[in-house]
Amino acid sequence: MDLGLTERGRALRDAVAGMVREHIAPLDAEFHAETGGTGNRWEHTPRQTEILDSLKNLARDRGLWNLWKTHLPSGPGITTVDYAWIAEEMGQSWLAPEVFNCNAPDTGNMEVFARYGTEDMKARWLEPLMAGEIRSAYLMTEPDVASSDATNISLHCRRDGNQWVLNGEKWWSTGAGDPRCKVHIVMCRTADDGPRHAQHSMVVVPTDTPGVETLRGMQVFGDDEAPHGHMHIRYTDVRVPLDAMLLGEGRGFEIAQGRLGPGRIHHCMRAVGLAEKCLTLMVERGAARQAFGSDINSLGGNPDRIAEARIGIEAARLMCLKAAWVMDQGDMKAAAPLISQVKIMAPRVALQICDDAIQLHGGAGVSQDTDLARIYAHLRTLRLVDGPDAVHLRTVSRAELRNRGLR
Amino acid sequence: MDLGLTERGRALRDAVAGMVREHIAPLDAEFHAETGGTGNRWEHTPRQTEILDSLKNLARDRGLWNLWKTHLPSGPGITTVDYAWIAEEMGQSWLAPEVFNCNAPDTGNMEVFARYGTEDMKARWLEPLMAGEIRSAYLMTEPDVASSDATNISLHCRRDGNQWVLNGEKWWSTGAGDPRCKVHIVMCRTADDGPRHAQHSMVVVPTDTPGVETLRGMQVFGDDEAPHGHMHIRYTDVRVPLDAMLLGEGRGFEIAQGRLGPGRIHHCMRAVGLAEKCLTLMVERGAARQAFGSDINSLGGNPDRIAEARIGIEAARLMCLKAAWVMDQGDMKAAAPLISQVKIMAPRVALQICDDAIQLHGGAGVSQDTDLARIYAHLRTLRLVDGPDAVHLRTVSRAELRNRGLR
Amino acid sequence: MDLGLTERGRALRDAVAGMVREHIAPLDAEFHAETGGTGNRWEHTPRQTEILDSLKNLARDRGLWNLWKTHLPSGPGITTVDYAWIAEEMGQSWLAPEVFNCNAPDTGNMEVFARYGTEDMKARWLEPLMAGEIRSAYLMTEPDVASSDATNISLHCRRDGNQWVLNGEKWWSTGAGDPRCKVHIVMCRTADDGPRHAQHSMVVVPTDTPGVETLRGMQVFGDDEAPHGHMHIRYTDVRVPLDAMLLGEGRGFEIAQGRLGPGRIHHCMRAVGLAEKCLTLMVERGAARQAFGSDINSLGGNPDRIAEARIGIEAARLMCLKAAWVMDQGDMKAAAPLISQVKIMAPRVALQICDDAIQLHGGAGVSQDTDLARIYAHLRTLRLVDGPDAVHLRTVSRAELRNRGLR
Amino acid sequence: MDLGLTERGRALRDAVAGMVREHIAPLDAEFHAETGGTGNRWEHTPRQTEILDSLKNLARDRGLWNLWKTHLPSGPGITTVDYAWIAEEMGQSWLAPEVFNCNAPDTGNMEVFARYGTEDMKARWLEPLMAGEIRSAYLMTEPDVASSDATNISLHCRRDGNQWVLNGEKWWSTGAGDPRCKVHIVMCRTADDGPRHAQHSMVVVPTDTPGVETLRGMQVFGDDEAPHGHMHIRYTDVRVPLDAMLLGEGRGFEIAQGRLGPGRIHHCMRAVGLAEKCLTLMVERGAARQAFGSDINSLGGNPDRIAEARIGIEAARLMCLKAAWVMDQGDMKAAAPLISQVKIMAPRVALQICDDAIQLHGGAGVSQDTDLARIYAHLRTLRLVDGPDAVHLRTVSRAELRNRGLR
């Protein structure tokens, strides 16, 4: 169980870390501040386009492109374990995942197209996604049902002649606000009876299809995260050809399961990176300020908080790495409960550290003068994204009992 | 130790609760949405003015005005315990505290003027504040020092002839963004040596004094809370007459101590109200949604979370009430560690309930579709406002040892 | 909602506290060390008898006898709130509850006899119990079923002519090891069908009835708590007359509900007293020892722990007092969820403080040189006694939803 | 960073696990019940001797002897990582560590003799210890000072001619109660001034030296853990020759540091094994009992507890393995903060699982009918042994800041 970097992985990790530190992170705040500069928060300003294009070109030039393809023949020749170490570095900058073409939900969508897409889909969507020319969205969660139980999903899809007709609403469609977002992958209901996990299907919908309407951007603690965004979308009589359905009717869950594993773990790897960033902010602030005759790092319970942060990061990282290693062994079924474990633990650890860092900063911690409040909002949301904690706890508990032949 | 309402207190509590429910809460969202409607987030739109004026008139008409003056002869004739019950109701609406002329920092500032102000100050500031015609700010925290240790406060104040001259920066000056804010009470440094708690003084500065400059609004989890706001302010050679100093040189801490006690507890009483509100949102959502064959309130650990929320609220409320009761006995020194206890506990309890409510809501919980994210940001900030947890823990611990003759 | 002591309550509280401090606590260790001195841990040594008798006489002489009878005409004329303050004092010594004739399960059993007993039972059992001449046990929990769901209780009771015949096992029968224990009140199953809460009955069984057999003493963290004990008991064809059944067939739950409320809260009040004792031990040790250039109370996170202990104690005490106050209002149905809240919270708070006190003591904390390990074991058990946490959380959650008309 | 077993390690792990399961664990309870059978708890009964001897012979025969010697040429040829996996298996039985000659404090003492002992010491003490013929004790902690700060250690040692003369008391001398314990390694104070970490020395004292007196066995939650024990020992004018001092005057800390690292981690590895054992007990009980219409594993928050237990175990194990791996790289300085991290985390995780298992068992959980209360007491003590949490948190925090060039 080697949880360390391969030689190639280490070289790529160092290159990614260097580029994040020197080129990407310094532009994060500027990119963010530009948003809405055209009068429309859902389009890029020229400067935003320039920043993104130049950084993406640099990533491509340095061979740091599409590193997420760990298990594909055309991939970078690294392990998922390697990628975990790399993703942690990417997590320390908001722009970095997209710069390296490794951002959600595109990575997951590219996997879906690669595995289940028709040749036409591969040419039309996969190639430009791989090239970073377009973006995509994954429409799963719905406003009107508890989507944590995905069998509740209700967006209606019925066959009408040689077309599928879709009606309903989705929200939290991440990335759907991006002006370059050209395609949706949509989980929809194609049957009202039969086995609970065979009533849903996955359909590919170009964003310019008539009837596709973006209602609004969902806010995360008041932030719409434009221009990327998390959109609320309505489909009204949206029509697509029959071959727009992936894999076949009733196979939505099969696709969803395959899709979510890696994506979930990527978020967690990046969360470990954010936890490191929060700890860095905390101790640097604590060393720079004095109160009650001491620097703040030495005051009262603060040394304990610093130590607990280090322990939490180490543990969360190892959990990510182990799950990645099991994924590398090729047994996604064995990996599933491990991924769930990480999905519960990594955001929790990172949130605690972020919260402690906020507290140690005083007012600055919740303000625009540090990145902490934004990190908090992001990590907090991660406890809901791709399955809330409660669902993953359920998965872990069931696996535990099943492995023992209980229940 | 009667922690219940007096007869008069009960009548006022019911009246406040009724007015919040029927008149104020329904306008909260509209008032909030209006902000910035004039193109300047730091002024009221006509509709905002109309909402505020009509509600304040109603409160005055109903005799629900300045209820915070529990211990003053001209006050409403209720106890602090009564006020705790009442403040809890006010806490359930963002607008309510101002509507009843009970909002921070005005209540604290009115107390300062009433206790320590000159006759001129009472006429110029206290009366219009009591009438709700102007607003005020309290300038304590500074960007460049760890203000949790208030002896660090550095805004420079020196005598020049018959004037005080002030130079320096303050931030988190709550309410200073309000267009009606006419006066600052400023904690400043008037000596660099001598006893640590005798180097600071409190000065009254009209906001239209030359040299007073508002740099920006501080954001709380991305929200500037305009038009009320938490402002970053710079003083450049701000000159005020000698009698603008309250009580005398070096007596800043004496005033600060007297001022903060009641204010701290008011925040906590309102936090209990917010906790109740979060629990209500949680169980109503949980009853309305189904997952895995059950309503969400019944699912897995959710009944435990509901029960823990109830326990937390009961305990936090009782702690508020006890501190209020001790304040009513007139011994503010005995009340101080109790206030610190409440200041630690009430936001913590409320934050946990808010966090659980967010989680149970799924994506809606962090979004603009519920009040939860805003409540979270407010409560999180409360762990920093008026002394961070660490400082209050220190107070409680020292009192514990001192009471036993230890240390 | 007066949570303070009445004048009479205060006098009794002070008298109890004085007697605990001066007369009882100093004999605790000696009494404990005597156990087994006769070669049989389940009988008193002469010195144990002498200690108990003299202390009980003193309590009687001072009018500190049967103070638990707060609501009975023949009682001490104090409120349940008063009794909560008094019980807290009794909690600080192991012997004290019995010395004042206020120990479990006798108080609960006396209530049962007073409310539901026949005249004969009152003469035979209630009077000597009130006089402290005999002891009693309450046989509820069983080894073979999950007794947290009391409808599982299975000890078999069937009518045979003019007798009830009982067969089965009970354990954790507290006090049944006491050589003076003369009577059992037994929850048994008299029907296998019908409404779930009407299948059980309560029967009075003299301990010298043929077929009653004590199998062993259950240990709590290795301590059999002899000679009082928690016994494992077997009934083999135990025969009692028909009028030994309290209230009538199928009314066991009715009696159990009435019985348990006060008893549960008494345990919790005493737990608050134990929490105070642990905090005292902690800070006295912390003041007496030095490490890393400081006394231990000042070191690292210890001041925070001391403060948190104070906060926890204040909150738990107020919760006890409020539940007691609601009981005093006479509405036991309204009191039930409050009692459950206290039953969850008080042991938890006390356990945390005990655990922190252990840690601060180092090795001494787990050893025989302090009372802490024994206190921990006692408090830990309290999370199971009279319903485990899970059952009380369920009660609180259900009440919360029911009060809102949900579910 | 390979955290898996080597081929040889896997074979040995499987052999150890098999022998624990089939031969050792079935005798644990019998061995324990025999204690005191001779009338003296500090000697073995014939049956105890027989059990130990036969199991130790079997371990030797199977080549499962002294596996702790991972880094010694004469060792078993496995890594510390391998040993971590193996120790986890040993942790699941009380007898197992001694059966495999891997128990504390002998392993640490053998290391000390091997590294720092004279040839005479090696012949006299190391060889019979390696052969499992004698036992040893390590005398560090003292009753009269806060030994968490080891510079407080005060047992007095002064040169008198060609002898060292020792006076003072030690307690928590684990294993010193064993009738076969023949030698003490004693930390003592040889200077009262000079650098704080150069005032102490380490001396070897045969247990039959005049003046060595065992005062009593310390109890852990009421259990004296006889016949192994944790003894309170007094030295009165104990005289040993000059060469009984290891390494030289003032070098006690140097030895202590080298000694404690591996020992600390061994305890933690075994704690992970205990955590697994507790989880097994929990889910098996939860599957076997029914309440409120469901098996207990499915009830309320129990699935979450099971999942959290699995997450905690995985994380604690990975932390142990990583620390072991860093030790295998040979840099004990780098390993030190990792060992501290594990020392904090592993007992905490295991205690939480044990506590949850107790709760799920109801009364049986605290009783003699399961091993849980004894496990709890053992794990609780582990938070104090070899440095309390507070000291390790301090180590981790300091390393964190030092690594960043802060402080």
In a domain, A260, yes or no: yes
| Phi, psi dihedrals of residue C172, rounded to the nearest 5° | 55, 35
d(CA D221, CA D217): 12
Q: Are residues D262 and D238 in the same domain?
A: no
Answer yes or no: do A359 and B389 touch at CB < 8 A. Answer: yes
Whether C377 and C260 map to the same domain: the answer is: yes
Q: How many CB pairs under 8 A join A and D?
A: 135
Residues D388 and D271 in one domain: yes
- For residue A405, the chain D residues in CB contact (below 8 A) are none
Other beta carbons within 10 Å of D46 = 10
| Contact at CB, B319 and C322, closer than 8 angstroms | no
Cα of B3 to nearest chain C Cα, Å? 5
Q: Evaluate if residue B330 carries a pLDDT over 90.
A: no
Mean predicted confidence (pLDDT) in C316-344: 94
Judge if C283 and C221 occupy the same domain: no
Chain C neighbours, 3+ Cβ pairs < 8 A: A, B, D
Distance from CA of C301 to the nearest CA of D (A): 8
Query: Looking at CA atoms only, how far is residue B357 from chain C in angstroms?
Result: 15
Give C163 to chain A, closest Cα distance, Å: 43
Q: Closest-CA residue in chain A for C303? A: A300
Is the Cβ pair D300, C383 closer than 8 Å?
A: no
In terms of DSSP bridges, do strands A294-295 and A290-291 run parallel, antiparallel, or are they unpaired?
A: antiparallel
Mean pLDDT of B330-336: 88
Q: Does residue B332 carry a pLDDT above 90?
A: no
A89 and A158 fall within a common domain? no
> What are chain B's partners, defined as 3 or more CB pairs within 8 angstroms?
A, C, D
Q: What are phi and psi of A215, to 5 degrees?
A: -80, -40
Nearest chain B residue to A301 by CA distance is B390
- In chain B, what residues touch D304 (CB-CB under 8 Å)? 300-301
CB contact under 8 A, B390 and A300: yes
Q: What is the enclosing helix (H) or strand (E) of B172?
A: strand B163-174
In this structure, are D63 and D89 located in the same domain? yes
Task: Kindly list the residues from chain B whose CB atom is less than 8 angstroms away from the CB atom of residue C287.
Answer: 401, 406-407
Q: Which residue of C has its CA nearest to A304?
A: C301
- Predicted confidence band at B261 (pLDDT cuts at 50, 70, 90)? low
Report d(CA B64, CA B76) in Å as an integer. 9
Picking from C59, C80, C103, the residue at the C-terminal end of a domain is C103
B232 plus B261 within the same structural domain: no
Chain C's closest residue to D393, CA to CA, is C300
End-to-end CA separation in angstroms for chain D: 30
Question: How close A384 gets to chain B, by Cα (Å)?
Answer: 6
Which residues of chain D lie closer than 8 angstroms to A397, CB-CB? 297, 303-304, 306-307, 310
Q: How far off is chain C from D146, nearest CA to CA, in Å?
A: 6
Chains in contact with A via at least 3 Cβ–Cβ pairs below 8 Å: B, C, D
Q: How far away is chain A from the Cα of C216, in angstroms, using its nearest Cα?
A: 32
Domain total of chain B:
3
Question: Same structural domain for residues B95 and B140?
Answer: no
Q: Report pLDDT digits (tens) over B180-204.
A: 999 999 999 999 999 999 999 999 9
Question: In this complex, which of A172, A221, A359 lies closest to B221 when CB atoms are compared?
Answer: A221
- Residues in C closer than 8 angstroms to B295, CB to CB, are 407
**Residue B125 falls inside a structural domain:** no
pLDDT for res A36? 92
The answer to whether A314 contacts D322, with C-beta atoms less than 8 Å apart, is yes
Residue of chain A minimizing CA distance to B383: A359
pLDDT attached to residue A119: 96
Residue D167 pairs in a beta bridge with D156
Contacts of D276 in chain A (CB under 8 A): none
Residues in chain D: 407
The interface pTM score, or ipTM, of the predicted complex is 0.96
Query: For D216-227, what is the mean pLDDT?
Result: 94
Q: D307–A2: do the CB atoms touch at under 8 Å?
A: no
Name the residue of chain A whose CA is nearest to B375's CA. A221
- d(CA D153, nearest CA chain A) in Å: 25
Q: Cβ–Cβ of B307/C1 closer than 8 Å?
A: no
Min distance B142 CA to chain A CA atoms (Å): 9
C304 to chain A: nearest residue by CA? Answer: A301
Residues of D in contact with B300 (CB under 8 A): 300-301, 303-304
Judge whether residue B258 has pLDDT over 90.
no
Q: What is the CATH number of the domain that holds A282?
A: 1.20.140.10
Q: What is the pLDDT of residues B53-86, one digit of tens each?
A: 999 999 999 999 999 988 777 788 899 999 999 9
Residue numbers of chain A with a pLDDT score lower than 50: none
pLDDT at C145 over 80: yes
Same structural domain for residues A187 and A222?
A: yes
User: Is A228 domain-assigned?
Assistant: yes
Question: Would you state the pLDDT for residue D261?
Answer: 66
Domain interval for residue B300: 253-403
Minimum Cα–Cα distance from C153: chain D residue: D291
Give the contacts of A26 (CB within 8 A, at least 6 positions apart).
none
pLDDT of residue A31: 96
Determine the residue of chain D that is closest to A322 in CA distance: D318
Q: Which among B225, B250, B275 is the end of a domain?
A: B250
Q: Which of A280, A338, A397 sits opposite D303 (nearest CB)?
A: A397
Residues of chain B neighbouring A223 (CB-CB closer than 8 A): 222
Question: Which of B311, B345, B399 is the closest to C341 by Cβ?
Answer: B311
Residue C2 included in any domain: no
DSSP secondary structure string for all residues of B97-111:
HHHTT--TTHHHHHH
**Tens digit of pLDDT for each residue in B205-232?**
999 999 999 999 999 999 999 999 999 9
Instruction: HSE, CB side, 13 Å, CA atoms: give it for residue A56.
Output: 20
| Secondary structure in 3-state letters for chain A | CECCCCHHHHHHHHHHHHHHHHHHHHHHHHHHHHCCCCCCCCCCCHHHHHHHHHHHHHHHHCCCCCCCCCCCCCCCCCCHHHHHHHHHHHCCCCCHHHHCCCCCCHHHHHHHHHHHCCHHHHHHHHHHHHCCCCEEEEECCCCCCCCCCHHHCCCEEEEECCEEEEEEEEEEEECCCCCCEEEEEEEEECCCCCCHHHCEEEEEEECCCCCEEEEEECCECCECCCCCCEEEEEEEEEEEEHHHECCCCCCHHHHHHHHHHHHHHHHHHHHHHHHHHHHHHHHHHHHHCEECCEEHHHCCCHHHHHHHHHHHHHHHHHHHHHHHHHHHCCCHHHHHHHHHHHHHHHHHHHHHHHHHHHHHHCHHHHCCCCCHHHHHHHHHHHCCCCCCHHHHHHHHHHHHHHHCCCC
pTM listed for this prediction = 0.96
pLDDT band at D1 (very low <50, low <70, confident <90, very high): very high
Residue D218 DSSP one-character state: P
A304 contacts C303? CB cut-off 8 A: no
Q: Tens digit of pLDDT for each residue in B160-181?
A: 999 999 999 999 999 999 999 9
Same domain flag for C294 and C331: yes
Dist. CA B144–CA D344, nearest whole Å: 36
Looking at chain A, which residue has its C-alpha nearest residue C300?
A300
C260, pLDDT greater than 70: no
D322 neighbourhood in chain A, CB within 8 Å:
314, 318
Interface touch C344/B307, C-beta < 8 Å:
yes
Lowest pLDDT segment from A53-57, A385-389, D308-312, D396-400: A385-389
Position C282 in a domain:
yes
Cβ separation B377–A147 shorter than 8 A: no
Distance of residue D28 Cα from the nearest chain A Cα, in angstroms: 24
A119 belongs to a structural domain: no
Q: Domain holding A44: CATH number?
A: 1.10.540.10
Q: Do C149 and D292 touch (CB under 8 A)?
A: yes
Determine contact, residues C307/C296, Cβ cutoff 8 Å.
no
pLDDT at residue D318, as a whole number: 98
Q: For C290-327, how does the pLDDT look when each residue is reduced to its tens digit (9 = 90+)?
A: 999 999 999 999 999 999 999 999 999 999 999 999 99
Q: Which residues of A touch B368 (CB under 8 A)?
A: 218-219, 222
- Neighbours of D (≥3 Cβ pairs closer than 8 A)? A, B, C
D173-193 mean pLDDT: 96
Judged by CB atoms closer than 8 Å, whether chains meet at A407 and D287 is answered as yes
Same domain, D174 and D218: yes
Last residue of a domain, one of D45, D80, D103: D103
Indicate the average pLDDT of chain C: 95
Question: In chain D, what residues touch B301 (CB-CB under 8 Å)?
Answer: 300-301, 304
- Closest CA of chain C from A296, distance in Å: 12
Give the pLDDT of residue C330: 87
**Same domain for A391 and A258?**
yes
CA B36 to chain centre: 23
